[in-house]
Amino acid sequence: MTGETKWGCTHNERQPVSSTCAAIWAAPACLPRVSSIQLWWATRVHSPHHSLWSLQWPSTRLSANISPRFPGSQPFGSVPLTPVVSQPTVLQPYGPPPTSAQVTAQLAGMQISGAVAPALPPVGLGYGSPASLASASGSFPNPGLYGSYPQGQAPPLSQAQGHLGAQPPQRSAPPQASTFTSPASGGPRMPSMTGPFLPGQGFGGPSLSQPNHVSSPPPQALPPGTQMTGPPGPPPPMHSSQQPGYQLQQNGSFGPARGPQPNYGSPYPGAPTFGSQPGPPQPLPPKRLDPDAIPSPQLNELPPQQKTRHRIDPDAIPSPIQVIEDDRNNRGSEPFVTGVRGQVPPLVTTNFLVKDQGNASPRYIRCTSYNIPCTSDMAKQAQVPLAAVIKPLARLPPEEVSPYVVDHGESGPLRCNRCKAYMCPFMQFIEGGRRFQCCFCSCINDVPPQYFQHLDHTGKRVDAYDRPELSLGSYEFLATVDYCKNNKFPSPPAFIFMIDVSYNAIRSGLVRLLCEELKSLLDFLPREGGTEESAIRVGFVTYNKVLHFYNVKSSLAQPQMMVVSDVADMFVPLLDGFLVNVSESRAVITSLLDQIPEMFADTRETETVFAPVIQAGMEALKAAECAGKLFLFHTSLPIAEAPGKLKNRDDRKLINTDKEKTLFQPQTGAYQTLAKECVAQGCCVDLFLFPNQYVDVATLSVVPQLTGGSVYKYACFQVENDQERFLSDLRRDVQKVVGFDAVMRVRTSTGIRAVDFFGAFYMSNTTDVELAGLDGDKTVTVEFKHDDRLNEESGALLQCALLYTSCAGQRRLRIHNLALNCCTQLADLYRNCETDTLINYMAKFAYRGVLNSPVKTVRDTLITQCAQILACYRKNCASPSSAGQLILPECMKLLPVYLNCVLKSDVLQPGAEVTTDDRAYVRQLVTSMDVAETNVFFYPRLLPLTKSPIESATEPPAVRASEERLSNGDIYLLENGLNLFLWVGASVQQGVVQSLFNVSSFSQITSGLSVLPVLDNPLSKKVRGLIDSLRAQRSRYMKLIVVKQEDKLEMLFKHFLVEDKSLSGGASYVDFLCHMHKEIRQLLS
Partner 1 sequence: MATYLEFIQQNEERDGVRFSWNVWPSSRLEATRMVVPLACLLTPLKERPDLPPVQYEPVLCSRPTCKAILNPLCQVDYRAKLWACNFCFQRNQFPPAYTGISEVNQPAELMPQFSTIEYVIQRGAQSPLIFLYVVDTCLEEDDLQALKESLQMSLSLLPPDALVGLITFGRMVQVHELSCEGISKSYVFRGTKDLTAKQIQDMLGLTKPAMPMQQARPGPPQEHPFVSSRFLQPVHKIDMNLTDLLGELQRDPWPVTQGKRPLRSTGVALSIAVGLLEGTFPNTGARIMLFTGGPPTQGPGMVVGDELKVPIRSWHDIEKDNARFMKKATKHYEMLANRTATNGHCIDIYACALDQTGLLEMKCCANLTGGHMVMGDSFNTSLFKQTFQRIFSKDFNGDFRMAFGATLEVKTSRELKVAGAIGPCVSLNVKGPCVSENELGVGGTNQWKICGLDPTSTLGIYFEVVNQHNAPVPQGGRGAIQFVTQYQHSSTQRRIRVTTIARNWADAQSQLRHIEAAFDQEAAAVLMARLGVFRAESEEGPDVLRWLDRQLIRLCQKFGQYNKEDPTSFRLSDSFSLYPQPVLLDSSSILADRILLMDTFFQIVIYLGETIAQWRKAGYQDMPEYENFKHLLQAPLDDAQEILQARFPMPRYINTEHGGSQARFLLSKVNPSQTHNNLYAWGQETGAPILTDDVSLQVFMDHLKKLAVSSAC
User: Could you tell me whether strands 979-984 and 1039-1044 are parallel, antiparallel, or unpaired per DSSP bridges?
Assistant: parallel
User: Could you tell me whether strands 405-406 and 711-713 are parallel, antiparallel, or unpaired per DSSP bridges?
Assistant: unpaired
Query: How crowded is residue 914: how many other Cβ atoms within 10 Å of its Cβ?
Result: 18
Min CB(580)–partner 1 separation in Å: 13
Residue among 462, 481, 563, 716 that touches partner 1 (CB under 8 A):
563
Site string for partner 1, 915-954 (x = CB under 8 A): ----------------------------------------
Min CB(810)–partner 1 separation in Å: 25
Q: How far apart are CA 661 and CA 1023, in angstroms?
A: 42
572 or 743, CB closer to partner 1?
Answer: 572
Q: How many helices (H) and strands (E) does the chain have?
A: 34, 30
557 or 1014, CB closer to partner 1?
Answer: 557
Site string for partner 1, 570-609 (x = CB under 8 A): -x-xxxxx-------------xx--x--xx----------
Interface with partner 1 (CB under 8 A), residue total 26
Q: Is 559 in the site for partner 1 (CB under 8 A)?
A: yes
Q: How far apart are CA 99 and CA 59, in angstroms?
A: 23
C-alpha distance from residue 801 to each of 38, 163, 661, 756 (Å): 47, 71, 34, 16
Q: Which residues pair with 634 in a beta bridge?
A: 689
Q: Which residues pair with 428 in a beta bridge?
A: 437
Contacting range for partner 1; rule: CB under 8 A; set: 440-448, 548-556, 708-716, 1025-1033: 548-556
At residue 768, φ and ψ (nearest 5 deg) are -95, 120
Q: How far apart are CA 203 and CA 192, in angstroms?
A: 10
Q: How far apart are CA 784 and CA 376, in angstroms?
A: 11
CA-based radius of gyration for the chain:
30
Q: Is 560 in the site for partner 1 (CB under 8 A)?
A: yes
DSSP 3-state of 672: helix
Q: How far apart are CA 802 and CA 794, in angstroms?
A: 25
Among 256, 287, 249, CA closest to 159 = 287
Min CB(568)–partner 1 separation in Å: 9
Residue among 292, 569, 651, 787 that touches partner 1 (CB under 8 A):
569
Contacting range for partner 1; rule: CB under 8 A; set: 387-395, 550-558, 731-739, 798-806: 550-558
Q: Is 625 in the site for partner 1 (CB under 8 A)?
A: no
Min CB(565)–partner 1 separation in Å: 4
Q: Is 444 in the site for partner 1 (CB under 8 A)?
A: no
Q: How far apart are CA 562 and CA 948, in angstroms?
A: 60
Q: How far apart are CA 40 and CA 56, in angstroms?
A: 17
Measured in residues, the chain has a length of 1085
- Burial (Cβ within 10 Å: 0-12, 13-18, ≥19) of residue 731: middle
DSSP 3-state of 503: helix
Min CB(561)–partner 1 separation in Å: 4
Site string for partner 1, 238-277 (x = CB under 8 A): ----------------------------------------
167 or 595, CB closer to partner 1?
Answer: 595
State which of positions 373-412 bind partner 1 (CB under 8 A). Answer: none
Min CB(576)–partner 1 separation in Å: 4
Q: Is 612 in the site for partner 1 (CB under 8 A)?
A: no
At residue 131, φ and ψ (nearest 5 deg) are -55, -50
CA angle 705, 709, 711 (to 5 degrees): 80
Q: Is 1028 in the site for partner 1 (CB under 8 A)?
A: no
Residue among 351, 565, 990, 1006 that touches partner 1 (CB under 8 A):
565
Min CB(627)–partner 1 separation in Å: 20
DSSP 3-state of 91: helix
556 or 680, CB closer to partner 1?
Answer: 556
Min CB(575)–partner 1 separation in Å: 5
Element at 1020 (helix H, strand E): helix 1018-1033
Q: Is 643 in the site for partner 1 (CB under 8 A)?
A: no
Contacting range for partner 1; rule: CB under 8 A; set: 106-114, 483-491, 555-563, 1047-1055: 555-563
Q: Per DSSP, which regions of 1018-1075 are E strands?
A: 1039-1044
Residues 897/815, Cβ–Cβ less than 8 Å: no
Sign of CA dihedral 190, 69, 835, 23: positive
Residue among 209, 329, 411, 558 that touches partner 1 (CB under 8 A):
558
Min CB(573)–partner 1 separation in Å: 3
570 or 988, CB closer to partner 1?
Answer: 570
Residues 8/239, Cβ–Cβ less than 8 Å: yes
Contacting range for partner 1; rule: CB under 8 A; set: 494-502, 557-565, 686-694, 737-745: 557-565
Q: Is 561 in the site for partner 1 (CB under 8 A)?
A: yes
Q: Is 566 in the site for partner 1 (CB under 8 A)?
A: yes
591 or 876, CB closer to partner 1?
Answer: 591
189 or 548, CB closer to partner 1?
Answer: 548
Query: How crowded is residue 880: how many other Cβ atoms within 10 Å of its Cβ?
Result: 12
Q: How far apart are CA 540 and CA 589, in angstroms?
A: 9
Q: Is 870 in the site for partner 1 (CB under 8 A)?
A: no
575 or 1084, CB closer to partner 1?
Answer: 575
131 or 574, CB closer to partner 1?
Answer: 574
CA angle 593, 596, 602 (to 5 degrees): 155
Find the Cα–Cα–Cα–Cα dihedral 743, 749, 751, 753, rounded to 10°: -10
Q: Is 556 in the site for partner 1 (CB under 8 A)?
A: yes
574 or 654, CB closer to partner 1?
Answer: 574
558 or 990, CB closer to partner 1?
Answer: 558
235 or 577, CB closer to partner 1?
Answer: 577
Residues 557/618, Cβ–Cβ less than 8 Å: no
Min CB(585)–partner 1 separation in Å: 14
Among 168, 208, 225, CA closest to 77 = 208
Among 286, 275, 278, CA closest to 148 = 275
488 or 652, CB closer to partner 1?
Answer: 488
Contacting range for partner 1; rule: CB under 8 A; set: 543-551, 793-801, 887-895, 1013-1021: 543-551
615 or 710, CB closer to partner 1?
Answer: 615
41 or 600, CB closer to partner 1?
Answer: 600
Min CB(600)–partner 1 separation in Å: 11
User: Could you tell me whether strands 711-713 and 683-689 are parallel, antiparallel, or unpaired per DSSP bridges?
Assistant: parallel
At residue 444, φ and ψ (nearest 5 deg) are -100, 125
State which of positions 13-72 bind partner 1 (CB under 8 A). Answer: none
How are strands ordered across the β-sheet holding 1039-1044? 941-944, 971-975, 979-984, 1039-1044
Collect all residues with Cβ–Cβ distance below 8 Å to 237 and sequence separation of at least 6.
157, 160, 161, 164, 266, 269, 289, 293, 294, 299
Min CB(559)–partner 1 separation in Å: 5
475 or 578, CB closer to partner 1?
Answer: 578
Residue among 271, 513, 564, 926 that touches partner 1 (CB under 8 A):
564
State which of positions 835-864 bind partner 1 (CB under 8 A). Answer: none
334 or 569, CB closer to partner 1?
Answer: 569
268 or 550, CB closer to partner 1?
Answer: 550
The binding site for partner 1 (CB under 8 A) comprises: 546, 548-550, 556, 558-566, 569, 571, 573-577, 591-592, 595, 598-599
